[in-house]
Amino acid sequence: MARAFRRKGELYAARLDPQELGLVVGLLEQTRELLAPEVAATGDAFTDLIASLGPDFGRSSDAPDVAVARDPALDRLLPDAHRSDPAIAAEFRRLTEHDLRRRKSDTITAAIDALRQVEGDKVRLTKADADSLLVALTDTRLLIGERLGLRDESDVDALDERISAHPEHPLAFAAAVYDFLTWLQDSLAGALMGRRLFDL
Amino acid sequence: MSIAPVQERQADAADVADPAVPWITLVWNDPVNLMSYVTYVFQTYFNYPRAKAEKLMMDVHTLGKAVVAHGTREEMERDAMAMQGYGLWATFEKDS
């Protein structure tokens, strides 16, 4: 049975049974799979330098996008950074997306590695690992939230209504998982901010 | 591109009313990000005091968006990128 994060000396402690831990790690892995840049690091400095320039490097920003199937969740995780000027938004994306995706997947990897060290149900994270998990849980919740159709506040109420009308629907399980991650992340944010619960 | 260390951010907070640097970074409300998390991000990245971070978070939550930083275009691109790195719905634009 899970117990929320709290600060314990220099560490951030929670309890997650092996099933809960496996669920969290599995979801983090799925999120990383979506986010990881198409070109993975090889360890070879020159190859990685070229790769880091991004697949769109050298393509002018006004060139039409190559028609590849892009998961709509990526647009939620990496939204347009300019709302009224598509050219500025496209240029920003061209310059930052590869780097952001690598940074996000590295953060998720750090969180997964920390959770894989857990023996039994006692999670004990350093500040650095707690920060990585906190950010990794955000991207994971954004991904699940997108799959659940949560685009604005009214979608949350609509989802609640659908689930209470059809509690056996697979959507109800996904929503329960989402709520679990929300609870876990909120407790971790609270612990990092020096209080157990954040209430306004 | 990389994120400036937190220490460098303190000077930027003072630029807030400088008309010579008329670009802004906005964070928009979304139903996923937690109030606690958003506050933590504003405190951690911008080095804003708790009260200011909470005020900005509440503006995002209740007004739908908040201007979280002012500066040059380059600085605002960096801040928007950092906010997106944290999973916040961030944009930048010329201040009007």
Domain with residue B33: its CATH number is 3.30.1390.10
A53-67, A105-119, B1-15: which is most confident: A105-119
Please tell me the distance from the alpha carbon of residue A113 to that of residue A91, in angstroms, as a whole number: 34
Q: State residue A35's pLDDT score.
A: 93
Q: Is A100 on the interface with B (CB under 8 A)?
A: yes
Task: Report pLDDT digits (tens) over B38-90.
Answer: 999 999 999 999 999 999 999 999 999 999 999 999 999 999 999 999 999 99
Q: Is A35 on the interface with B (CB under 8 A)?
A: no
Percent of chain A with pLDDT over 90: 62
Is residue A97 included in any domain, yes or no?
Answer: yes
Is residue B74 included in any domain, yes or no?
Answer: yes
Is residue A64 included in any domain, yes or no?
Answer: no
Residue reference for tokens 């300019």: A82
Which chain A residue shows the shortest CA-CA distance from B79? A81
Residue A13 CA from chain centroid, whole number: 21
Residues 6+ apart with CB under 8 A from A55: A38, A39, A98
Chain A residues within 8 A of B85 when measuring between CB atoms: 100, 103-104, 135
Is residue B11 included in any domain, yes or no?
Answer: no
Task: Report pLDDT digits (tens) over A5-58.
Answer: 999 999 999 999 999 999 999 999 999 999 988 755 666 666 665 555 555 545
Q: In total, how many domains does chain B have?
A: 1
Going by the DSSP 8-state scheme, the letter that residue A149 receives in this structure is T
Is residue A126 included in any domain, yes or no?
Answer: yes
Q: Is the predicted pLDDT of residue B1 greater than 80, yes or no?
A: no
Is residue A197 included in any domain, yes or no?
Answer: no
Is residue B9 included in any domain, yes or no?
Answer: no
Task: Report pLDDT digits (tens) over A68-112.
Answer: 578 888 988 999 999 999 999 999 999 999 999 999 999 999 999
Q: Could you tell me the residue range of the domain that residue A141 belongs to?
A: 3-58+69-192
Is residue B15 included in any domain, yes or no?
Answer: no
Is residue B4 included in any domain, yes or no?
Answer: no
Is residue B58 included in any domain, yes or no?
Answer: yes
Q: Could you tell me the residue range of the domain that residue B78 belongs to?
A: 20-94
Q: What is the DSSP string of A52-111?
A: HT-TTTTS-TTSPPP-----HHHHHHS--S-SS-HHHHHHHHHHHHHHHHHHHHHHHHHH
| B14 confidence band (pLDDT: 50, 70, 90) | very low
Instruction: Point out which residues pair with B67 in neighbouring strands.
Output: B26
Residues 6+ apart with CB under 8 A from A21: A115, A118, A121, A123
Which chain A residue shows the shortest CA-CA distance from B24? A82
| B6 confidence band (pLDDT: 50, 70, 90) | very low
| A171 confidence band (pLDDT: 50, 70, 90) | confident
Q: Is the predicted pLDDT of residue A199 greater than 80, yes or no?
A: no
Is residue B51 included in any domain, yes or no?
Answer: yes
Is residue B13 included in any domain, yes or no?
Answer: no
Is residue A89 included in any domain, yes or no?
Answer: yes
Q: In total, how many domains does chain A have?
A: 1
Higher pLDDT among residues B19 and B79, named by residue? B79
Is residue A200 included in any domain, yes or no?
Answer: no
Cβ of A81 within 8 Å of Cβ of B43? The answer is: no
* A53–chain B nearest CA distance, Å: 11
**Mean pLDDT score, A172-183:** 93
Residues 6+ apart with CB under 8 A from B30: A151, A152, B89
